[in-house]
Chain A
Amino acid sequence: MKLYLHYLSIHVRSAMEYKTSFILTALGQFLVSFNVFLGVFFMMERFNNVKCFTYSEILLCFSTVLISFSLAECFFRGFDMFPSMIGNGEFDRILVRPRNTVFQVLASKIELTRIGRLFQAFIMLGYGIIKSGIKWDFLRVLTLVLMIVGGITVFAGLFIIFAGLCFFTLEGLEVMNIFTDGAREYGKYPVSVYGKTVLTICSYIVPFALFQYYPFLYLIGRDVPVWYCALPVLTAMFLIPSCLIWRLGMKKYQSTGS
């Protein structure tokens, strides 16, 4: 942990060497997701509700997904950028250091510009909290935190799978964007909006619904069992297959060197 903070401080100082670029990129991140927000805003203004979710509820849902995604992208960026790390030999450097490889990849890139997105997400969260009229108690606050942590877990798992697959092939991996960017883009509405099939896929295959939909229903006070709020914990299971793919990939790398 101390070592990670050390990495973090170097990342911050590196970013500050290019202040203008940093600010502009962060602003860009803000603008891009602001477009998405405007889309939601105009749609909700016109239709008032979708599948019985109100505007403030949608904003709550949207903001938790966006917070999870920005944080995951900020801290797990090393896996997202992994193809270039293999390409330029940086990964060999990691292998000749006496530390865990996952940790080193994790620490090698920290994308602070995602703060632009995070900023917007928090504004929406604030607005959603005030307007949604939720009666906050300890369990609901905990649910909200669990949703965000669960989201980070799932996105991190996806990034690690992506990196693990890079050991086998570099071609066609853009498909992974369906899950990462797709979840960010379409996670703005609760999964049920997209119908039953999508909800099933997101419950059992890629567990988006476990941190977004089910606990969200509990959060906004729908008539659902209390244990729904604990479902984000299950997302930890998603890390098992992702770490397995990573280890398989590592083994392959060490036996072929490419």
Chain B
Amino acid sequence: MITVEHLCKTFRTANRSAGLSSALKSLFHREYKEIKALDDISFTIPDGEMVGYIGPNGAGKSSTIKVLSGILTPDKGECLINGRVPWKERREHVRDIGVVFGQRSQLWWDVPVIDSFELLKDIYKIPQNAYRDRKEELTELLKLGDILRTSTRQLSLGQRMRCEIAASLLHNPKILFLDEPTIGLDAVSKIAVRGFVQELNKKYNTTVILTTHDMQDIEALTNRIMLIGKGRLLLDGSLEEFKALAGENESLDELVARLYCQYHI
């Protein structure tokens, strides 16, 4: 269960202009620009729900994920995940979550994938038996079989993403954050990843929060959509409600583009 109430986060960035004189000036007096990354965000996500979190770049998606995963401390507001405040009890909290950053790898580049898994086992202190069962299960579901013995740098993007997801799930987290998990994947891999996430959710009732620009991912996986822009939560409703907003012959991509326009974000 995730509850978020009135979350606010403001970043200050120093205003800098070119030139030597302004560089000298900034030594004594700096002008700051305030950016509201999160502006009074509240929502509740029950266990087992799959949520699509969408919004243009810089809307506050990644700030939200950072707060939820304990990396970022908000200025104001409360957040409780399974009874814990993420940034206060970071180490206990992160044991229960899995994070997949689509653009970055957590696997070791030059050694076989299985070695990265073994290391994660030690990092998360997963008992040997639990680890073995979990690994076998993930291997079967994600069809990792022979690629576990290959080193990461020799894998295709799709194979690598499957391994990334498995790596994030070895410790059997209750909540999974997926940040653009299908970016750059071919059709076959995309479908495989989606199918797996669905199965995972069905079997373990894992809560999934998905940020993506790919509306097909959203459509295939989530039953709830949250739209964020300029730090504010603009829409929060079921996939059906969202689809109902679309006009005739309007695809989801077109709908999203129109909404961005409408909200000036």
A positions within 8 Å CB-CB of B: 2-3, 6-7, 10, 13-14, 17-18, 88-90, 92-93, 95-99, 254-258
Contact = CB atoms under 8 A, between A and B. Distances in A.
The contact size tier of chain B is 20 to 34
A96 B69 contact: yes
Given A13-B115, A14-B109, A97-B94, 5 more contacts: A2-B122, A6-B122, A89-B101, A257-B71, A258-B11
Contact of A98 (B72, B94, B101, B110): B94
Interface of B: 11, 63, 66, 69-73, 87, 90-92, 94-95, 97, 99, 101, 104, 106, 108-111, 115-116, 118-119, 122-125, 151
A99 B94 CA distance: 9
Contact of B104 (A2, A6, A90): A90
Contacts of B94: 95-98
Given A89-B101, A98-B95, A13 B110 contact: yes
Contacts of B116: 10
B71 A92 contact: yes
B111 A10 contact: yes
19 contacts: A6-B122, A10-B111, A10-B116, A10-B119, A14-B108, A17-B110, A17-B151, A90-B104, A92-B66, A93-B104, A93-B106, A95-B69, A96-B94, A98-B92, A98-B124, A99-B91, A99-B123, A254-B73, A255-B72
A120 B216 CA distance: 60
Chain A: interface secondary structure? helix
Contacts, number: 70
Contacts of A18: 110
Contacts of B111: 10, 13-14, 17
A106 to B, nearest CB: 13
A257 B123 contact: no
A10 B97 CA distance: 25
A98 B123 contact: yes
A87 to B, nearest CB: 11
A3 B109 contact: no
B72 A89 contact: no
A6 B111 CA distance: 13
